Structure 1
Amino acid sequence: MPHHADDHTGARIADYRKLRHLTQAGLAQRAFVSRGTIAKIEAGLSPASPAVVAAVARALEVDVAVLNGQPYLAEMRQDQLDRMIAPLTHALDRYDLGPDPSIRPRPLRQVSAEVDELCKAACATEYTRTGDRLPALLSELTTLISGLPDGEDRRRAAAQLAWCYWVAYEFAYRLGLHHLATIALERMGFMGEQAQDPLILAIRLQRRSSMLLRHSDSPMALRVLDRAHQLVAQHDAPRSVPALAVSGSLHLAGAIATAQAKNAEDVKERMKEARRVAERIGRDVPREYWASFGPTSVAHFDVATAVELGQLGEAMKLARKVRFPADHPRMRVGRYHMELARAYSQMGRSEAAQKELFRAREAAPQQARYHPLMRETVGVLVRRSRAVPGTLASLAAWVGM
């Protein structure tokens, strides 16, 4: 069912602030943001950026998901995603129980091909497709690896199972099921160790850094990313394209972390390192360890970090240079347009913000429907409008407002 017009992140922040007996000025001081920012967000007149929500959640001692109103159960029921949660939970819980006698696993070659398709679907934010197939594939691979002796085949199977856990993380995290996402990341690390692949372990740490940024813990996120860089250096071929792609994606993650910490100089240095790696590769490599790295990603993150730093004019200037190739991951394209929509909203350019929101929906519909930034920006535009246009009203209904 649709949410009430006053059911938004700012309203929930106001509720928890009052429960903690804090004034807006007191919360602003604890969260290291301005009182004006808190006031606008609580009134629903300014979109609550992920960094601000994380800082406020930490100050209020509440989980980010609570302030975002996640998970969006009504919409998940409409899309029949809620029925996939229990099977996935059970599959994640069976990782150490040995073979399932009721399963006859296929040859590893066939299973690996399906894992590859599932990873593609995750990058395309096709939640229904991934959630529907993932539990059975996890169980099949768990049984398959249990029957393999130590050796190359077992390491290959472990790598495939690690990627399945990565897909589980993406599915759970994007739907706001953060506890389940944390479990999936733990399982990914367990299998990455058995696969003896430092690049898988580095990708896992990159996702862990994202979880830390949810809690506004950029110092710890950066420590985790430093460890990930050390793992890349341990790879047998640290100058190979896969290792470079993972390394470049870690630099981009570090740039976002330092942007959230408002450290513009550090952002500049990390983006410079990412650009050097992209130039060394010389092209986009969206499927190398699913790191989705290359010149296009660097151009995207130039815009994203500028938005995060509040340099909105610079972000708009940089955005003119961004062109996404047809095979660029839909999750990246959708997120880019949501970031631009937030920037336009902050600049008071409602029509431009709406166009970007529709582009985000077109690029990655399920991601857009379940992303807090999407519905926060839609909500702000609705509350600012004296007469809500039909297109905006339909978008608001689609995200569940």
Structure 2
Amino acid sequence: MSFAAGDHTGARIADYRKLRHLTQAGLAQRAFVSRSTIAKIEAGLSPAAPAVVAAVARALEVDVAVLNGQPYLEEMRQDQLDRMIAPLANALDMYDLGPDLSIQPRPLPQVSVEVDDLCRAACATEYTKTGDRLPALLSELTTIISGLPEGPERRRAAAQLAWCYWVAYEFAYRLGFHHLAAIALERMGCMGEQAQDPLLLALRLQRRSSMLLRRGDNPMALRVLDRAHQLVAQHDAPGSVPALAVTGSLHLAGAIATAQAKNAEDVKERMKEARTVAERIGRDVPLVYWASFGPTSVAHFDVATAVELGQLGAAMQSARKVRFPADHPRMRVGRYHMELARAYSRMGRSESAQKELFRAREAAPQQARYHPLMRETVGVLVRRSRTVPGTLASLAAWVGL
């Protein structure tokens, strides 16, 4: 089996670096990373951490998706996901066009059941299921809300439409269509305002902070999260389980942002805040506002932040304490195993890294197939191997290398 030598993030970084007439040392200086890090990534012998890719993308003045090689169109064609992008884009464009007279909308309670099912599918990273059903549901809810006067029923419909836009964001963002994801977030904010739900608006800002982190803009991401905390404080019951779950999720997002900025003290403080909130709730709440917060999430982020900080020994020690309950979102479980695989790869423990990659695929197969971290780590393991084991070769072929 052959692997394209230039089909990895490091090779694309090298190409754009040369186009910008920069040496490795020059790029390292602009991106605030070491020259050895750039050299290893360009050679494809070290996994490109998301924070490093974001910093390099800013220095090279290109989008992160360009360096990651997203979207992965050939794999999308194989999974028949490519045909779902145009209908979604059209549905996102219909938000202000009034009712669709060709649609006979169902009662709102019946539609709400389908919205909940779609949110569950998004948390399970079932891209085919969400992409197939989402455009029609967006059109139906847009028609419903356009015929409702101001009042409680319209606010309920707006909340359901906001959740559909959240699903649209998850679908587009995970597949690498970040421009559509940004549009979906904008629409989610509009509907969150109409729903008069500060928790919805706070979660929307959390996703916005993720997109800012992807660009390497940590200061702005933290400002956005601060605003999200202010919104939670405006909730009628800021001490309720839903408000606490959203608050805890915001603390975890802030911990990742500060970990990417290599601020270990701030990470420690934010993780302490998240742990306190989890103790107040006393259990995992995976279905409350789809925030998926609780003691398990805190344990996961103890590992994730340690990996981001480069504290690999501490990450391995924390990983011993992580046990995922059966109802934990597959999205989180899959991401956790990819993070561990990256850590093992950096430690030179290829067999352990492979095991974690297969666990990531088992937990959330479609997320794993389309995640840059998965593809990058697989590529590093392949390039490091003198002879590629059959299991690793099959995994490489599956992700499209």
What is the aligned partner in structure 2 of residue 76 from structure 1? 76
What is the aligned partner in structure 1 of residue 371 from structure 2? 371
1:163 and 2:128 matched: no
Q: Deviations over 1:253-284 (max 9, x none)?
A: 00000000000000000000000000000000
Contact 1:260 1:308 in 2 (8 A): yes
Contact 1:342 1:353 in 2 (8 A): yes
The residue type paired with residue 222 of structure 1 is L
Q: CA deviation at 1:5?
A: 3.1
The residue type paired with residue 201 of structure 1 is L
1:242 and 2:242 matched: yes
Q: Distance in 2 between matches of 1:196 and 1:326?
A: 33
The residue type paired with residue 245 of structure 2 is A
What is the aligned partner in structure 2 of residue 323 from structure 1? 323
Q: Distance in 2 between matches of 1:222 and 1:6?
A: 35
Matches within 5 A, 1:217-228: 217-228=217-228
Q: Distance in 1 between matches of 2:132 and 2:3?
A: 27
Partner SS, residue 232 of structure 1? helix
Q: Distance in 2 between matches of 1:5 and 1:132?
A: 35
Partner SS, residue 327 of structure 2? coil
What is the aligned partner in structure 1 of residue 273 from structure 2? 273
Q: Distance in 2 between matches of 1:136 and 1:354?
A: 39
1:29 and 2:33 matched: no
Q: Distance in 1 between matches of 2:3 and 2:114?
A: 38
Q: Deviations over 1:263-316 (max 9, x none)?
A: 000000000000000000000000111000000000000000000000000000
Q: Distance in 1 between matches of 2:30 and 2:5?
A: 28
Contact 1:304 1:339 in 2 (8 A): yes
Q: CA deviation at 1:63?
A: 0.1
Matches within 5 A, 1:302-341: 302-341=302-341
Q: Distance in 2 between matches of 1:34 and 1:5?
A: 23
Q: Distance in 1 between matches of 2:317 and 2:6?
A: 34
Q: Distance in 1 between matches of 2:90 and 2:4?
A: 34
Partner SS, residue 206 of structure 1? helix
What is the aligned partner in structure 1 of residue 111 from structure 2? 111
Q: Distance in 1 between matches of 2:151 and 2:130?
A: 29
Q: CA deviation at 1:6?
A: 2.1
Q: Distance in 1 between matches of 2:263 and 2:3?
A: 37
What is the aligned partner in structure 2 of residue 251 from structure 1? 251
What is the aligned partner in structure 1 of residue 184 from structure 2? 184
Q: Distance in 2 between matches of 1:47 and 1:6?
A: 15
CA RMSD of aligned residues (A): 0.7
The residue type paired with residue 165 of structure 1 is Y
Q: Distance in 2 between matches of 1:12 and 1:3?
A: 15
TM-score normalised per structure 1: 0.99
1:13 and 2:13 matched: yes
Contact 1:31 1:59 in 2 (8 A): yes
Q: Distance in 2 between matches of 1:113 and 1:7?
A: 43
Partner SS, residue 5 of structure 1? coil
Q: Distance in 1 between matches of 2:166 and 2:98?
A: 20
Q: CA deviation at 1:14?
A: 0.1
Contact 2:6 2:12 in 1 (8 A): no
Matches within 5 A, 1:55-204: 55-204=55-204
Q: CA deviation at 1:237?
A: 0.3
Contact 2:105 2:140 in 1 (8 A): yes
The residue type paired with residue 100 of structure 1 is D
What is the aligned partner in structure 1 of residue 380 from structure 2? 380
Q: CA deviation at 1:149?
A: 1.0
Q: CA deviation at 1:4?
A: 1.9
Q: CA deviation at 1:3?
A: 6.7
Q: Distance in 1 between matches of 2:199 and 2:96?
A: 23
Contact 1:340 1:353 in 2 (8 A): yes
Matches within 5 A, 1:203-218: 203-218=203-218
What is the aligned partner in structure 1 of residue 44 from structure 2? 44
Contact 1:172 1:178 in 2 (8 A): yes
Q: Distance in 2 between matches of 1:9 and 1:354?
A: 19
What is the aligned partner in structure 1 of residue 351 from structure 2? 351
Q: Distance in 2 between matches of 1:394 and 1:205?
A: 39
Q: Displaced runs of 4+ in structure 1, greater than 6 A?
A: none
Contact 1:209 1:221 in 2 (8 A): yes
- Structure 1: which 5+ runs fail to align? none
Q: Distance in 2 between matches of 1:147 and 1:18?
A: 56
The residue type paired with residue 275 of structure 1 is R
Q: Distance in 2 between matches of 1:214 and 1:3?
A: 27
Q: Deviations over 1:142-186 (max 9, x none)?
A: 000111111111000000000000000000000000000000000
Q: Distance in 1 between matches of 2:362 and 2:62?
A: 33
Contact 1:81 1:128 in 2 (8 A): yes
Count of residue pairs brought into register by the alignment: 400
Q: Distance in 1 between matches of 2:359 and 2:161?
A: 34
What is the aligned partner in structure 2 of residue 260 from structure 1? 260
Q: Distance in 2 between matches of 1:334 and 1:254?
A: 21
1:301 and 2:301 matched: yes
Q: Distance in 2 between matches of 1:247 and 1:64?
A: 28
The residue type paired with residue 317 of structure 1 is Q
The residue type paired with residue 102 of structure 1 is S
Q: Distance in 2 between matches of 1:112 and 1:310?
A: 43
Q: Distance in 2 between matches of 1:127 and 1:56?
A: 29
Contact 1:3 1:400 in 2 (8 A): no
1:282 and 2:282 matched: yes
